[in-house]
Structure 1
Amino acid sequence: MARKRTVPTPLLTFTRVGRLREAVNDFTTRSPSRFAILVFGSLVLLFTLLFSLPAASATRSWTPLADAFFTAMSVICVTGLSTVNMATHWSWFGDVLVVVGVQIGAVGVLTLASILGLVISRRLGLRAKLVAASDSNPLRVHHGPVAEGQAVRLGDIGNLLLTVIVSLFVIEAGLAVLLCVRMLFDGIALSEAVTHSIYYSAMSFTNTGFTPNELGLGRFANDHWFLTILMLGVFLGSLGFPVIFALRRHLWRPRQWSLHVKLTLITTIILIFVGAAVFVALEYDNPLTFGKLDAGSTAYQSVFLSMMTRSGGFSTIDISDLNGSSLLVADMLMFVGGGSASTAGGIKVTTLAVLVLAAWAEARGRLDITAFGRRIPGDVVRVAISVFFWGATIVAISTIVLLQITKEPLDRVLFDVISGFGTVGLSTGLAEDLPTAGKYVLALTMFMGRVGTVTLAAAVASTSNGRLFRRPEERPIVG
Structure 2
Amino acid sequence: MRAGRRLRDLSQRISPPQLTVLTFALLVLCGAGLLALPAATESGERTPFAAALFTSTSAASVTGLAVVDTGGHWSFLGEGVILALIQVGGFGIMALATVLTLVVGRHLGLRMAVRTGSETKTLTLGEVRRIAVGILTVTLVFETAVMAVLTLRWWIGYDLPLGSAAYLGLFHAVSSFNNAGFSPFADSLMGYATDPWITVPVAVGVVAGGLGFPVWVELWRFARRRGERHTWTIHARITLSVTGCLLAVGFAAFLALEWDNPATMGGLDLRGKLLTGFFQAVMPRTAGFNSLDFGAMNTQTLLVTDLLMFVGGGSAGTAGGIKVTTFAVLLFVVLANVRGEPTVHVGHRRLGEGVASQAVTVVLLSLSLVLAGTLALMTMTTFTLDEILFETTSAFATVGLSTGITADLPVPGQMVLVFLMFVGRIGPIALASALALRRRARAYELPEERPIVG
TM-score normalised by L of structure 2: 0.92
Map Cα deviations across residues 346-394 of structure 1 (whole Å, 9 max, x no partner).
0000011111111112222222322221111241111111111111011
Map Cα deviations across residues 223-274 of structure 1 (whole Å, 9 max, x no partner).
1121110011001000011112222223356732211011000100110011
Preserved CA contact (<8 Å) 1:58 1:89? yes
User: Corresponding residue for 2:303?
Assistant: 328
Preserved CA contact (<8 Å) 2:104 2:118? no
1:247 alignment partner, one of 214, 219, 224: 219
Counterpart CA distance in 1 for 2:382 and 2:422 is 23
User: Corresponding residue for 1:62?
Assistant: 46
Distance 1:132 1:369, change over 3 A: closer
Counterpart CA distance in 1 for 2:357 and 2:346 is 17
Structure 1 counterpart of 2:232, one-letter code: W
Structure 2 counterpart of 1:234, one-letter code: V
User: Corresponding residue for 1:199?
Assistant: 171
How large is the RMSD of aligned CA atoms in angstroms? 2.4
Distance 1:465 1:370, change over 3 A: closer
**Is 1:339 matched up with 2:314?**
yes
The size of the alignment, in residue pairs, is 443
Preserved CA contact (<8 Å) 1:87 1:213? yes
User: Corresponding residue for 2:186?
Assistant: 214
Preserved CA contact (<8 Å) 2:190 2:293? no
User: Corresponding residue for 1:106?
Assistant: 90
User: Corresponding residue for 2:202?
Assistant: 230
Map Cα deviations across residues 203-223 of structure 1 (whole Å, 9 max, x no partner).
000000111123321331211
TM-score normalised by L of structure 1: 0.87
Structure 2 counterpart of 1:316, one-letter code: S
The offset of 1:17, in angstroms, is 5.4
Distance 1:145 1:472, change over 3 A: farther
Map Cα deviations across residues 90-135 of structure 1 (whole Å, 9 max, x no partner).
01110110111011110244835xxxxxxxxxxxxxxxxxx96213
The offset of 1:138, in angstroms, is 6.7
Counterpart CA distance in 2 for 1:40 and 1:320 is 31
User: Corresponding residue for 1:172?
Assistant: 143
User: Corresponding residue for 1:424?
Assistant: 399
User: Corresponding residue for 1:452?
Assistant: 427
Counterpart CA distance in 2 for 1:36 and 1:280 is 40
2:385 alignment partner, one of 369, 385, 410: 410
The offset of 1:26, in angstroms, is 1.8
Counterpart CA distance in 1 for 2:239 and 2:385 is 31
Counterpart CA distance in 2 for 1:146 and 1:264 is 19
User: 1:291-440 maps to which residues of 2 (within 5 A)?
Assistant: 291-440=266-415
Structure with bigger gyration radius: 1
Counterpart CA distance in 2 for 1:374 and 1:225 is 41
Map Cα deviations across residues 397-453 of structure 1 (whole Å, 9 max, x no partner).
000001111121000000010000110000011111111101111110001100123
Structure 2 counterpart of 1:180, one-letter code: T
The offset of 1:461, in angstroms, is 9.9
Preserved CA contact (<8 Å) 2:258 2:298? yes
Unaligned runs of 5+ in 1: 1-14, 113-130
Counterpart CA distance in 1 for 2:335 and 2:270 is 35
The offset of 1:173, in angstroms, is 1.5
Distance 1:138 1:284, change over 3 A: farther
Map Cα deviations across residues 16-69 of structure 1 (whole Å, 9 max, x no partner).
454245235424xx5010011011111111111111110111111110111011
**Is 1:46 matched up with 2:30?**
yes
Unaligned runs of 5+ in 2: 108-112
Report which stretch shifted further, 270-279 or 286-295: 286-295
Structure 2 counterpart of 1:100, one-letter code: A
The offset of 1:151, in angstroms, is 4.2
Preserved CA contact (<8 Å) 2:116 2:123? no
Preserved CA contact (<8 Å) 1:37 1:109? no
User: 1:118-137 maps to which residues of 2 (within 5 A)?
Assistant: 133-137=99-103
Distance 1:440 1:375, change over 3 A: same
Distance 1:306 1:282, change over 3 A: same
The offset of 1:159, in angstroms, is 2.3
Preserved CA contact (<8 Å) 2:104 2:116? no
Counterpart CA distance in 2 for 1:379 and 1:109 is 24
Structure 2 counterpart of 1:161, one-letter code: A
User: Corresponding residue for 1:118?
Assistant: none
Percent identity for Structure 1 against Structure 2: 37
Preserved CA contact (<8 Å) 1:134 1:140? no
**Is 1:161 matched up with 2:132?**
yes
User: Corresponding residue for 1:12?
Assistant: none
Structure 1 counterpart of 2:144, one-letter code: A
Preserved CA contact (<8 Å) 1:83 1:432? yes
Counterpart CA distance in 1 for 2:256 and 2:120 is 39
Structure 1 counterpart of 2:425, one-letter code: R
